[in-house]
Structure 1
Amino acid sequence: MHPSLNPLRRLHQWCAALLLGAALALPAQGQQSVAQTADQTADLGAVTQRWLDDALAQVQAGGMPLRMEVSVGALDSRLRLAPCARVEPYLPTGARLWGRTRLGLRCVDGATRWNVFLPLTVKAFGPAWVLAGSVSTGTVLTEQDAIEAEVDWAAEPAAIVANAKDWVGQTASRPLAAGQALRQNMVRPPNLFKAGAPVRVVVQGPGYAVTSSGQAMSAGAQGQNVRVRMSNGRIIGGTVLEDGSIEASM
């Protein structure tokens, strides 16, 4: 097992202690032998370790060399879990092993079925670009604005911008502070024209294309949808192309 996953061993030890405490808290007629309890906890640790190892291996993003770390929280101390011959770890619907999340543990073979959730924090350290200084909204980013560093990709929901070509020449979508890792929601393409600027409009239809001119009703960047006021007063919508023209469909 990779050294960075050592916190998982603490998870297995903690779960073992939890089940042992739960067994001792039951009435005498419901208790299992110490040997049986030890077998249960050993099985739980092995199953949980295999599940987490497999799941964490699958979250390696796009082949990037991410270093995974897991911090384990605690279950509600008021819980009293009945003995169980087989506990199944699972990821709840809508959850993922990324950032602050939770792991489900359910009894699938026992006199009393139970289902609990264990809080986890999964960190994924990898290469990224970190701002060298503060940047104001609308600033066009250059190679001097960020440096390479290792950061936790899972610290925020937005995806990391790992390649320089994906942020150099882009503009800051909001004020950014020194030390922030660049993420996709922090940058956007630069505007190719301003509101009120004259623009070329290419109107496409079945078997034809007509080029005309109009006035942009807002600033526009490549790929954005904008509205244009045509010379006859009609307002149409279209997509901004790389050369700053507007492609519209009729």
Structure 2
Amino acid sequence: MAVSLGALAQGQADTAQDGELGALSARWLNDAVQAAQVNGAAAGLPLRMEVSVGSLDPRLRLAPCSRVEPYLPAGARLWGRTRLGLRCLDGATRWNVFLPVTVKAFGPAFVLTNNVASGTVLTAADAAESEVDWAADQAPVAASPDAWVGLTATRPLAAGQTLRQNMVRAPDAFKAGAQVKVVAQGPGFAVTSSGQAMSAGAVGQNIRVRMANGRVIGGVVAQDGTIEAAL
């Protein structure tokens, strides 16, 4: 979407141009965020979006431009602290600037009701549902009890924190030094043996196992606690 700003005479108050650019950016962002809300609702994410638009660097002196196009820079997304590009498409001097933007996405999630030590297995009593800003951090929220109840805290957590997926992990299936079953698979065959785990392991983790012959192999912890290794 490119919008005409009119030919602003050089020397006209910069605040007038800033106001035009701010209004243009706000309209573009409003349309984009509304579309994101519709898509989010279709995906089952009941998020309430809020957008605040920052200001351009006051040291910038932009040449007059008849047509300015807002765009989302490559790699950026309308989530948390981000930026919106503005480029001049019709002017004596082409320019390209970036406007700071903050996008908040409020929705239901779980907030810790008490401090939790690292390594603690979380229970339903450790957090309560509340409306939080999902976009306050890049890590996805733990939006349902299944995403955190029975899992282990990866670090010390404080009361009031929103539970996010990088804060929890599956509990250890075994401790370091435990004897584990190893299933090594190759083309058309599978061999089962045992070895000693060189570290604690949780479901889905990659760990190393020392076999009876002294060889060390790597594998992934399966749901039943066995180690799946590829040959």
Q: Which residue pairs with 2:74 in the alignment? A: 93
Q: Which residue pairs with 1:155 in the alignment? A: 136
Contact in 1 for aligned 2:180/2:194 (Cα 8 Å): yes
- In the TM superposition, 1:78-227 aligns within 5 A as 78-227=59-208
Contact in 2 for aligned 1:132/1:179 (Cα 8 Å): yes
Shift of 1:74: 1.2
Give, in whole Å, the separation in 1 of the partners of 2:10 and 2:135.
Answer: 34
Aligned residues: 220
Contact in 1 for aligned 2:9/2:64 (Cα 8 Å): no
Contact in 2 for aligned 1:23/1:82 (Cα 8 Å): no
Shift of 1:53: 2.7
Select between 51-60 and 158-167 the one with higher mean Cα deviation.
Answer: 51-60
Establish whether residue 51 from structure 1 lines up as the match of residue 39 from structure 2. no
Shift of 1:148: 0.2
Give, in whole Å, the separation in 1 of the partners of 2:227 and 2:35.
Answer: 41
Give, in whole Å, the separation in 2 of the partners of 1:50 and 1:120.
Answer: 13
What SS does the corresponding residue of 1:63 show, helix, strand or coil? coil
CA-to-partner distance for each residue in 1:131-159, whole Å, 9 max, x for gaps?
01000011111111110000111111111
Shift of 1:20: 6.2
Contact in 2 for aligned 1:23/1:83 (Cα 8 Å): no
Select between 159-168 and 185-194 the one with higher mean Cα deviation.
Answer: 159-168
Of Structure 1 and Structure 2, which has the larger fraction of its residues in helix? 1
Larger Rg: 1
* TM-score, length of structure 2 as denominator length: 0.87
Instruction: Structure 1 unaligned segments of length 5 or more: list them.
Output: 1-15, 27-36
Instruction: Structure 2 unaligned segments of length 5 or more: list them.
Output: none
Q: CA RMSD in A?
A: 2.4
Q: 1:21 to 1:127 in 2, by over 3 A?
A: farther
Give, in whole Å, the separation in 2 of the partners of 1:21 and 1:135.
Answer: 60
Contact in 1 for aligned 2:109/2:131 (Cα 8 Å): yes
Identity of aligned residues (%): 70
CA-to-partner distance for each residue in 1:6-65, whole Å, 9 max, x for gaps?
xxxxxxxxxx8xx96965159xxxxxxxxxx99x94xx6775455313321344444311
Q: Which residue pairs with 2:56 in the alignment? A: 75
* TM-score, length of structure 1 as denominator length: 0.81
